[in-house]
């Protein structure tokens, strides 16, 4: 039952979010061997001014199991 939460700056269209969710679902089903009906995906928009406090400081900097690290710092 994979659940993915994607956080990004605001500005993507609904169509872009849907396409992203479809592509992430496809990658998960192919690599983890589970049915698409088991996958859930949330896309949450975080204002750029809040990114460091709400995302970087709490989820990225502590390195709590990141498998893909960003190429930027805050």
> Could you give the residue numbers annotated as active site?
2
For the chain, give the number of residues.
74
- Cα-only R_g, the chain: 14
CA–CA dist 7, 36 (Å, integer): 21
CA atoms within 13 A on the CB side of 11: 4
């Amino acid at each position: 039952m994979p659940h993915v939460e994607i956080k990004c700056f605001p500005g993507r269209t609904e169509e872009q979010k849907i396409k992203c969710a479809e592509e992430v679902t496809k990658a998960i089903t192919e690599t983890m061997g589970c049915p698409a009906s088991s996958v859930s995906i949330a896309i949450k928009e975080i204002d750029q001014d809040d990114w460091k406090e709400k995302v970087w400081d709490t989820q990225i900097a502590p390195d709590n199991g990141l498998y893909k690290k960003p190429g930027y710092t805050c």
